[in-house]
Amino acid sequence: MFKFQATVLFLLFCFVQSSQAQKNVSTTSGELNRRVDSLLRLMTLEEKVGQLNQYTSDWNFTGPITPDNDKIGQIRAGKVGSMLNVKGVEHTRILQSHALQSRLKIPLLFGQDVVHGFRTTFPLPLAEAASWDIEAIELSARIAATEAAAAGVHWTFAPMVDIYRDPRWGRVMEGAGEDSYLGARIAAARVRGFQGKQLGDLDAVMACAKHFAAYGAAEGGRDYNSVDMSLRKLWEVYMPPFKAAADAGAATFMNSFNDLNGIPATGSSYLQREVLKGKWGFKGFVVSDWGSIGEMVNHGFAVNDKEAALLAINAGSDMDMESRSYRNHLVALVKEGKVKEDYIDDAVRRILQKKFELGLFEDPYRFSVLGRQAEQWNKKENLIAAREMAKKSIVLLKNENAALPLSKSKKLALIGPFVKSVRDNLGFWSIEWPDDSLRIVNLWQGVKDKMPKGSVIGYARGCNVNDNDTSGFAEAISVAQNADVIILTVGEASDMSGEAKSRSNLHLPGVQQRLIQLLAGTGKPIILLVHAGRPLVIQDAVAQSSAVLYTWWLGTEAGHAIADVLFGEYNPSGRLPMTFPRTEGQIPIYYNHYNTGRPAAHDNHSNYVSAYIDLPNSPAYPFGFGLSYTQFDYGKMTLSDTLLNSAQKLKMSVTITNRGKYAGKETVQLYTRDIAASVVRPVKELKGFQQVFLQPGESKTIVFEIATDDLRFYNEQLEYIWEPGDFDIMIGRNALDVERRRIRFIK
């Protein structure tokens, strides 16, 4: 009887499918829900659980491997809902064809870490954040989505929207830095960029806001480590970018490896059911992180894998990435009455909904068309956008005696382990292609392309990235002696920042510092280029250099972008999205700290105040810092009023003038401080920023507005309120260099 009913329903379902096939995939939500429900009614419990199961392909891995020889068999049996790490249409087509052999022919979802580009690699997300250019960041995600969607990818595990304050954590490269406001703006931009106009369009991929939540606060910056923090801090600092991503319509969320206040995030119903799906009304689905369901046994939160599955599904974790805990135990748990089938249905419904929205039931191969993939391959406009983004990401940290920009008539020596590196330009979480070596523009190429034909450019590698070999020093010195200027590359290899790449020592690795020292001894000016995925401790190197550019890992067009900046064709405009420490001992270091009861009055103040006796409190470079080849002057700030009521808006304006020789872009930053409140407030909080482009001699007036809504915070009861009283308003060029005025908001 059941079999007969199921067959009739299935035929009906197929009819609905084929009559939809010719239509545009966008359907109303009512229609879509009906289609999801009719499919759900056909599914056995085993098939439902199958939809919650995600495996990596065998072509690529991004986590610890679990041997499994029967993935294809399981796909054909309808026991797999999604695959990750399937690169290229050739492969997605093969796996999809297996899924279509299953009883209900439910297509697979293909997910991948498309983090900063796909075919065209863009700068690291942290580097992009240094541009503070929200539109450019959205465009970068848009291009990544277009390229990835044409290669069979439906879903990117990005953006990572974690906030962090510890550069020892290797994953700082993957996010937008330490600030919740900037982080939230960028999170929303990236979601918009990935998802385009709507899911179902052939250039849109589902975004995934990760890692929910507080992964960025891993103790000691050690990856996967525990997090213990007040809920107030969680809400104030770590949640805003997640909320922004949810509001921007992120289709999925990923939970995180860490335990938060004693509960692994993967098993936290507070985070997933209460906050995300409850309070925020999130309609998408939550995927676990790689193996994080099973890892709840290691956390000591579940006695065994079966209990881990129970805790995760009950907590609202919908899809199991690579643990196999759901596959192995959910059916039994439902049959034993330990898990409500409603929870399974809800999770399956959320996943099917996305498959429908993507149009996969109309055509499971619609993202897997060889011709379209080829069309996206070496698109000139994508490379141009990558170069633009890369230029905007570079931060000028020092420029003594206008050492930069360089004149092309100078004799240059290019020295250091990264001058000719190729793959290192891409950085962690980039996707490798066999022809990378032909496509990636390294520094050597970038500079050569810029210099007049026939110029002689000296080159020496000098040393390796991370060993004790000094055999290249002599050559480096002799090359330097024959030049007018040394362009010296130092920093981290691209696999030194990223997942599982925590470092306790943030100084330059290997013998790089010794090389700098020796080259400084030649008396030639050094232009230092720092390639890294995180803030490094570079004070000594900076002291020995005339100019310093933080060049991160800039992607496919790295060499061109750096050369554009070196020779002044682009005036550097990047601003640091993270505070740079003087040394590891200052970590965690961030601009929006509390004042304490005994604040130090200045850097030499350490007697009975909150300070170190052997180190100033101030950072090497503050949040928001970055120089330009030109000089921007700030006029006096004017305020519309100094006493306002809650219905009024405060208007602040400041005139910026370009007093230098070069046209350039300034990022004007607005901070506030709540002077006294029912809970202590940070010494500064970023509330806005604007970028202004000025020709030499030109002035523009920037206007900001603030309302009491912008002054809200979480009080002791976790209510999001503002309190009347005094506030400092600060406008300036970075978190330390501001003009400050006092105002009062009354009820």
Residues recognised as catalytic: 289
Q: Is 62 in the site for ligand NOJ (CB under 6 A)?
A: yes
Q: Which is nearer to ligand NOJ, 157 or 625 (CB)?
A: 157
CB 269 within 8 A of CB 277: no
CA-based nearest residue to 518, from 555, 486, 561: 486
What gap in Å lies between CA 110 and CA 152, rounded to an integer?
A: 7
Binding mask 601-640 for ligand NOJ (x = CB under 6 A): ----------------------------------------
Tokens of 588: 């965690």
Tokens of 457: 């450019």
Instruction: Find the shortest distance in angstroms from Cβ 290 to ligand NOJ.
Output: 4
**Residues ≥6 apart with Cβ < 8 Å to 540:** 513, 516
CB 556 within 8 A of CB 389: no
Instruction: Find the shortest distance in angstroms from Cβ 323 to ligand NOJ.
Output: 12
Binding mask 155-174 for ligand NOJ (x = CB under 6 A): --x-----------------
660: three-class secondary structure by DSSP? coil
Question: Which residues in 611-747 belong to E strands, given as ranges?
Answer: 632-634, 638-639, 643-645, 650-658, 664-674, 685-694, 699-706, 713-714, 720-721, 725-732, 738-746
Q: Which is nearer to ligand NOJ, 84 or 308 (CB)?
A: 84
**Residues ≥6 apart with Cβ < 8 Å to 398:** 542, 545, 546, 547, 548, 627
Q: Which is nearer to ligand NOJ, 114 or 443 (CB)?
A: 114
Chain centroid offset of residue 633 CA: 32
466-505 residues near ligand NOJ, rule: CB under 6 A:
499
CB 123 within 8 A of CB 497: no
- Residue pointed to by tokens 């009055």: 601
CA-based nearest residue to 148, from 366, 373, 354: 373
Instruction: Find the shortest distance in angstroms from Cβ 87 to ligand NOJ.
Output: 12
Q: Which is nearer to ligand NOJ, 170 or 555 (CB)?
A: 170
359-398 residues near ligand NOJ, rule: CB under 6 A:
none
Q: Which is nearer to ligand NOJ, 253 or 722 (CB)?
A: 253
CB 577 within 8 A of CB 129: yes
Please select the residue that binds ligand NOJ; options are 290, 356, 367, 590, rule is CB under 6 A: 290
DSSP state letters, 279-328:
IT---SEEEPPTTTTGGGTTTTSSSSHHHHHHHHHHHT--BEES--HHHH
Q: Which is nearer to ligand NOJ, 266 or 630 (CB)?
A: 266
- With contacts defined by CB under 6 A, how many residues of the chain interact with ligand NOJ? 9
Instruction: Find the shortest distance in angstroms from Cβ 115 to ligand NOJ.
Output: 8
Q: Which is nearer to ligand NOJ, 113 or 179 (CB)?
A: 113
Instruction: Find the shortest distance in angstroms from Cβ 162 to ligand NOJ.
Output: 10
Binding mask 73-92 for ligand NOJ (x = CB under 6 A): -----------x--------
Instruction: Find the shortest distance in angstroms from Cβ 175 to ligand NOJ.
Output: 11
Instruction: Find the shortest distance in angstroms from Cβ 157 to ligand NOJ.
Output: 3
**Residues ≥6 apart with Cβ < 8 Å to 611:** 600, 605, 617
Please select the residue that binds ligand NOJ; options are 45, 63, 707, 736, rule is CB under 6 A: 63
Residues that bind ligand NOJ (CB under 6 A): 62-63, 84, 113, 157, 210, 289-290, 499
